[in-house]
């Protein structure tokens, strides 16, 4: 087989492949067997029709077509490997020549990863946050813990922001009650930011057994987007009472006997989180610094596929939320146009990141061990709240193990970048990432642990 490469653009090539007919023999034999199973010829059992009879009765073209359908995709894959290009889209294949018994020729146009060099990343200067634990850090954690153990106490006064109310809700359009827009005994924190616009404003100042209506746009159900009158009936008003910070609270909220012991434990947890943050920041910033040095054209087909995937995921999220489109975007304080613009920017960056990290993976000869794959599955299963064996089976059944391994080696490539950088904190102190790896259970940080990630999301 002979393959020639023509560069149509920095992100698209045309392969011209010449194949001697002898290399088609396995596919041709398979084609004769397949056609023999499909045709019926008097005097021959199904699957036992000789090749010459097939050609006499149905023509050689039928066999050649079946042969090419089987052979060309395989030959294309071999050609890609031979010329060392990295396709990022499905090829446009055309058989341009069939010289029966001698050779065939086909062309394949395909979008590819552009050719580029990765600049030297040794010694990149990176600044990360300090890992020093301040008293304010401890107080913030204690306050969050107190919020978890707060109690609600009924009050004989109008509701204020931060109070909890128990209420009934119903909606009317032109005086007609909307059956599906009713709810009873709903507990709600005033000021929490309901997608039902106007609810918080209406609740402030309401007392138990008081009724009030306000006009707003419905956000779910068959009448989503319609203007309606929403009637609130407040059943009770309660205020949040935080527990006192003392030894008794420490015993209630933890395994410690004293508040001082609890504070010391929190201090260590915060320090560990900050150390992990330093590793994550170092890797992310080292990657960002490298990306700024490289100009990589993005294949249009890859960009479109990435954007379409994000749009599809967004549509799924909107459908799962039960909200109208307007209400969904209002909840996240954005618009559809802004989100789509974000998709374009984020998609282009994600593709560029993948290209660069894949180059580093190849240059550093990074791989994935069986234990690393197992650790990945266990960690992901914990984040998703499923059993590891269930997730492993799902990945295997859906041919996603390769994607998992790509994610693992790309994380390792980011680790290479972080390790190669000169890292200091905002106080000017040198940060030794390898010492952090050793301190945190002797394990390398491949990504932000699920617990810290969830805490960060909650804080945001």
CB 150 within 8 A of CB 242: yes
- Model confidence at 445, pLDDT cuts 50, 70, 90, reads low
% of the chain surpassing 90 pLDDT: 70
- Model confidence at 219, pLDDT cuts 50, 70, 90, reads confident
Secondary structure (H, E, C), 340-385 = HHHHHHHHHHHHHHHHHHHHHHHHHCCCCCHHHHHHHHHHHHHHHC
Q: Give the pLDDT mean for 144-163.
A: 95
Which DSSP helix (H) or strand (E) runs through 435?
helix 433-439
pLDDT(452) > 60: no
pLDDT in tens, 130-149: 999 999 999 999 999 999 99
CB 290 within 8 A of CB 121: yes
- Model confidence at 246, pLDDT cuts 50, 70, 90, reads very high
What Cα–Cα distance (Å) separates residue 99 from each residue in 1, 48, 78, 103, 135?
15, 28, 21, 5, 81
Give the pLDDT confidence score for residue 302 in this predicted structure. 93
pLDDT(459) > 50: no
pLDDT in tens, 264-307: 999 999 999 999 999 999 999 999 999 999 999 999 999 999 99
Helices (H) and strands (E) in the chain, counts: 15, 11
| Comparison of pLDDT for 454 and 398, the residue scoring more | 398
**Nearest by Cα to 213 from 201, 226, 225, 195:** 201
Ramachandran assignment for 274, one of left (phi > 0), alpha (psi -120 to 50 degrees), beta (any other):
alpha
125-128 and 422-425 strand pairing: parallel
Phi, psi of 180 (to 5 degrees): -80, -10
Give the pLDDT confidence score for residue 234 in this predicted structure. 97
Give the pLDDT confidence score for residue 28 in this predicted structure. 77
Which DSSP helix (H) or strand (E) runs through 65?
helix 60-83
Decide: helix, strand or coil at residue 404.
Answer: helix
Q: Give the pLDDT mean for 74-89.
A: 91
Decide: helix, strand or coil at residue 186.
Answer: strand
Q: Is the pTM of this model over 0.85?
A: no
Q: Give the pLDDT mean for 116-121.
A: 93
Mean pLDDT, the chain, rounded, equals 89
Question: What's the rounded Cα separation, in Å, for the pair 230 and 213?
Answer: 5
pLDDT in tens, 2-60: 999 999 999 999 999 999 988 888 887 887 677 666 667 776 767 666 666 766 666 67
Question: What's the rounded Cα separation, in Å, for the pair 19 and 71?
Answer: 10
pLDDT(93) > 80: yes
Give the pLDDT confidence score for residue 58 in this predicted structure. 66
- Paired residues of 20 in beta bridges: 103
| Comparison of pLDDT for 116 and 456, the residue scoring more | 116
Give the pLDDT confidence score for residue 330 in this predicted structure. 83
**Nearest by Cα to 444 from 452, 434, 453:** 434
- Model confidence at 327, pLDDT cuts 50, 70, 90, reads confident
pLDDT in tens, 377-391: 999 999 999 999 999
């Amino acid at each position: 087989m002979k393959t020639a490469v023509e560069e149509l653009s920095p992100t698209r090539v045309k392969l011209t492949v010449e194949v001697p007919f002898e290399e088609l023999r396995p596919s041709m034999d398979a084609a004769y067997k397949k056609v023999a199973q499909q045709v019926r010829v008097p005097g021959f059992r199904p699957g036992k029709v000789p090749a010459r009879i097939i050609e006499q009765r149905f023509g050689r073209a039928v066999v050649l077509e079946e042969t090419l359908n089987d052979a060309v995709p395989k030959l294309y894959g071999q050609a890609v490997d031979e010329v060392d290009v990295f396709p990022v889209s499905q090829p446009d294949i055309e058989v341009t020549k069939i010289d029966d018994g001698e050779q065939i020729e086909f062309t394949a146009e395909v979008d590819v990863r552009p050719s580029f060099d990765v600049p030297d990343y040794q010694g990149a200067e990176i600044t990360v946050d300090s890992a020093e634990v301040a008293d304010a850090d401890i107080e913030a954690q204690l306050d969050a813990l107190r919020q978890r153990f707060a109690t609600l106490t009924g009050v004989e006064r109008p509701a204020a922001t931060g109070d909890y109310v128990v209420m009934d809700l119903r909606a009317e359009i032109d005086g007609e009650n909307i059956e599906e827009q009713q709810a009873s005994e709903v507990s709600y924190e005033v000021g929490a930011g309901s997608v039902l616009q106007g609810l918080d404003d209406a609740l402030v100042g309401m007392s138990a057994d008081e009724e009030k209506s306000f006009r707003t746009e419905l956000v779910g159900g068959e009448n989503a987007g319609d203007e309606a009158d929403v009637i609130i009936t407040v059943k009770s008003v309660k205020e949040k009472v935080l527990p006192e910070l003392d030894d008794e609270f420490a015993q209630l909220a933890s395994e410690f006997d004293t508040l001082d012991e609890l504070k010391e434990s929190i201090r260590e947890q915060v320090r560990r989180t900050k150390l992990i943050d330093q590793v994550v920041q170092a890797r992310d910033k080292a990657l960002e610094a490298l990306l700024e040095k490289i100009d990589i054209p993005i294949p249009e087909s890859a960009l479109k596929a990435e954007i379409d995937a994000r749009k599809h995921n967004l549509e799924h999220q909107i459908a799962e939320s039960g909200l109208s489109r307007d209400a969904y975007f209002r909840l996240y304080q954005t618009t559809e146009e802004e989100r789509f613009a974000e998709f374009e920017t984020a998609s282009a960056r994600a593709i560029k990141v993948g290209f660069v990290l894949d180059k580093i993976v190849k240059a550093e000869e990074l791989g994935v061990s069986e234990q690393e794959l197992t650790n990945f599955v266990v960690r992901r299963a914990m984040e998703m709240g499923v059993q590891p064996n269930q997730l492993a089976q799902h990945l295997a059944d859906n041919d996603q193990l390769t994607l998992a391994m790509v994610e693992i080696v790309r994380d390792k490539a980011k680790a290479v970048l972080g390790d190669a950088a000169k890292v200091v904190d905002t106080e000017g102190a040198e940060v030794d990432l390898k010492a952090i790896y050793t301190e945190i259970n002797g394990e390398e940080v491949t990504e932000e642990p699920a617990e810290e990630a969830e805490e960060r999301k909650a804080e945001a």
